[in-house]
């Protein structure tokens, strides 16, 4: 009990510190719609990079990727290392266009390039993905890690399923307060601080894991992991793996393009940059750190395989189990705070983005065109609250995913991310025409030209 209280108190102390710093940094900066939705367009490259990284590196990644490494091999690292291509494309090509148009949301960009119909369809696609899978997966993966670190069922004298519900609601309510009442800048500042902590913990876990695997000798652990079951270190996926090797050069890059270049909850930080230079700096810096992610988020899964074999009930328990066994007790509170910070970061970002799209892409253009800044922020907060409550009920259902959390997320998001990427690339690559002419399939003649209805044609292969 003393260890438990120490962990909880140190966790609360770190989270309070993060909250205090975020409050001091954002005090007086959330007035007006630009201040609330885009941090007053004053984010520096450091805050953008920190927020992008922690938004991406949530418990979903820690639990999901390590679970896949435990189950199969390192082929899922393709998701991380190919992100660099999308990041460079975003920073050098798309971001200048986004900032030049002074947009707040991606659907707003599509309304300028197409029409209001495309804008609404895109918002619906985003909302379905956010509410049914993306937000619930982050809450559920965070709950799994907390339950493995602490015996919540015994502490509260409730069942495992009830514990999942309790932890999800607890994490969700705290995160909703950040996102709904703090705005984008509060999210970005807290993300950056927690991101530093996550990098520290992320580096410690594989090191301590290899020491445990080598019975106290780090090099012996390295020898074991490279000579015993070496196929676990294979990064070239076969037909039976989640990421077959051939898909790296086709669909995988496009999927990463969606996440890093057209996903509202990611690009919203870059749209809040104080300048193009700062925005590009933040994007490229985050892309560099993505190349190191397999060390933090896949190698521990392989170590867990060597330590525990088939003793785990679920592949998604690989990382939490390893952390519980190798991390010193005096760091458990810090790890819990960082883990919750990572969960809250992604959750906050998604809620903030969903609320932003509702206020600016549905409420203002379709329901109240003359809405004031105060009315927009109020509508955003109410919608964010509704979305939060819905996801509290959806999240626990993910415990029934048959092949682990990571596979479920990737299969579902494929239904809506590729269409959005296609629409954005077409919108950027051709001149503006009428909405109907640019959406009609009968404007694709044999020569590969897309006509805009105004006598102009663009070679799709060349421009895209």
What is the per-residue DSSP string for 286-345? HHHHHTTHHHHHTHHHHHHHHHHTT--S-GGGHHHHHHHHHS-GGGHHHHHHHHHHHHHH
pLDDT on residue 223: 92
Q: How far apart are CA 449 and CA 460, in angstroms?
A: 6
- Residue 146's closest CA among 20, 14, 22, 4? 4
> Would you say 277 and 89 are in contact if contact means Cβ atoms under 8 Å apart?
no
Report the run of H or E that residue 458 belongs to, with start and end. Answer: strand 457-459
Chunked mean pLDDT (size 10), the chain, 464 residues: 72 76 65 62 78 72 82 85 86 87 84 83 82 80 74 78 85 73 63 75 88 91 90 84 81 81 81 85 85 83 87 79 84 78 75 83 82 81 85 81 62 72 81 52 41 39 34
Q: Which phi and psi angles does 244 have, rounded to 5°?
A: -60, 145
Secondary structure (DSSP) of 154-199: HHHT--HHHHHHHHHHHHHHHHHHHHHHHHHHHHHHHHHHHHHHHH
The SS3 call for residue 271 is helix
- Sequence-separated (6 or more) residues with CB below 8 Å from residue 17: none
pLDDT on residue 342: 74
Four-residue CA torsion sign, 342, 343, 346, 352 = negative
**H-assigned helices in 214-235:** 218-227
Q: Which phi and psi angles does 154 have, rounded to 5°?
A: -75, -40
**H-assigned helices in 101-159:** 106-113, 116-129, 135-149, 152-156
Q: How far apart are CA 326 and CA 305, in angstroms?
A: 14
What one-character DSSP code corresponds to residue 43?
Answer: B
What are the structural domains of the chain?
2-429 (1.20.1730.10), 433-464 (no CATH)
- Residue 151's region, left for phi above 0, alpha for psi from -120 to 50, else beta, is beta
Secondary structure (DSSP) of 391-423: HHHHGGGGGG-TT-HHHHHHHHHHHHHHHHHHH
> Would you say 219 and 51 are in contact if contact means Cβ atoms under 8 Å apart?
no
Exposure string (b/e) for 62-90, b if CB count within 10 Å is 16 or more?
bbbbbbbbbbbbbbbbbbbbbbbebbbbb
Q: How far apart are CA 341 and CA 193, in angstroms?
A: 9
As given in the structure block, the two tokens for residue 129 are: 């993905």
- Residue 201's closest CA among 385, 32, 14? 14
Q: Is residue 361 packed enough to be buried (19+ CB in 10 Å), middle (13-18) or exposed (0-12)? A: buried
Q: How far apart are the first and last CA of the chain?
A: 60
- Residue 86's region, left for phi above 0, alpha for psi from -120 to 50, else beta, is alpha
Q: Which phi and psi angles does 363 have, rounded to 5°?
A: -65, -50
pLDDT on residue 341: 76
Beta bridge partners, 43, equal 273
* Other Cβ atoms within 10 Å of 221 Cβ, number: 23
> Would you say 177 and 35 are in contact if contact means Cβ atoms under 8 Å apart?
no
Residue with tokens 């209001």: 116
Q: Is residue 409 packed enough to be buried (19+ CB in 10 Å), middle (13-18) or exposed (0-12)? A: buried
Give rounded-to-5 percent helix, strand, coil for the chain. 80, 0, 20
Distances (CA, A) of 81 to 85, 139, 292, 341: 8, 25, 8, 24
């Amino acid at each position: 009990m003393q260890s438990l209280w120490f962990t909880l108190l140190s966790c609360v102390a770190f989270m309070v510190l993060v909250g205090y710093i975020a409050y001091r940094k954002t005090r007086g900066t959330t007035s007006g719609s630009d201040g609330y939705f885009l941090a007053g367009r004053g984010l520096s490259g450091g805050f953008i990079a920190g927020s992008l990284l922690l938004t991406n590196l949530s418990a979903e990644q820690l639990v999901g990727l390590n679970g896949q490494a435990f189950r199969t091999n390192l082929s899922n690292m393709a998701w991380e290392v190919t992100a660099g291509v999308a990041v460079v494309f975003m920073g050098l090509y798309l971001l200048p266009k986004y900032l030049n148009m002074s947009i707040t949301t991606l659907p707003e960009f599509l309304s300028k390039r197409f029409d209001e119909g495309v804008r609404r369809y895109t918002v619906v696609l985003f909302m379905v993905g956010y509410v049914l899978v993306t937000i619930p997966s982050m809450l559920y993966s965070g709950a799994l890690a907390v339950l493995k670190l602490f015996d919540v069922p015994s502490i509260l004298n409730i069942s495992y399923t009830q514990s999942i519900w309790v932890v999800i609601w607890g994490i969700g309510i705290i995160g909703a307060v950040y996102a709904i009442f703090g705005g984008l800048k509060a999210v970005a500042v807290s993300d950056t601080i927690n991101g530093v902590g996550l990098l520290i913990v992320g580096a410690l876990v594989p090191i301590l894991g290899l020491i445990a695997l080598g019975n106290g000798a780090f090099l012996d652990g390295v020898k074991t992991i490279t000579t015993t079951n070496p196929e676990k270190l294979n990064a070239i996926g076969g037909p039976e793996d989640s990421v077959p090797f051939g898909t790296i050069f086709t669909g995988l890059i496009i999927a990463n393009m969606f996440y890093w270049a057209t996903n509202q909850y990611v690009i919203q930080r870059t749209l809040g940059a104080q300048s193009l230079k700062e925005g590009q700096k933040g994007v490229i810096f985050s892309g560099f750190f993505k190349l190191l992610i397999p060390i933090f988020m896949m190698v521990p899964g392989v170590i867990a395989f060597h330590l525990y074999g088939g003793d785990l009930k679920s592949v998604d328990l690989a990382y939490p189990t390893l952390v519980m066994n190798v991390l010193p007790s005096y760091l458990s509170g810090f790890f819990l705070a960082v883990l919750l910070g990572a969960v809250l970061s992604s959750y906050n970002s998604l809620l903030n983005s969903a609320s932003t799209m509702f206020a600016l892409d549905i409420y203002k253009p379709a329901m109240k065109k003359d809405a004031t800044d105060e009315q927009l922020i109020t509508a955003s907060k109410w919608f964010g609250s509704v979305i939060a409550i819905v996801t509290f009920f959806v999240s626990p259902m993910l415990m029934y995913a048959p092949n682990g959390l990571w596979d479920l997320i990737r299969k579902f998001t494929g239904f809506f991310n590729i269409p959005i990427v296609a629409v954005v690339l077409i919108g950027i690559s051709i001149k503006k025409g009428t909405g109907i002419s640019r959406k009609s399939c009968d404007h694709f003649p044999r020569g590969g030209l897309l006509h805009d209805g105004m006598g102009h044609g663009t070679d799709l292969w060349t421009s895209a």
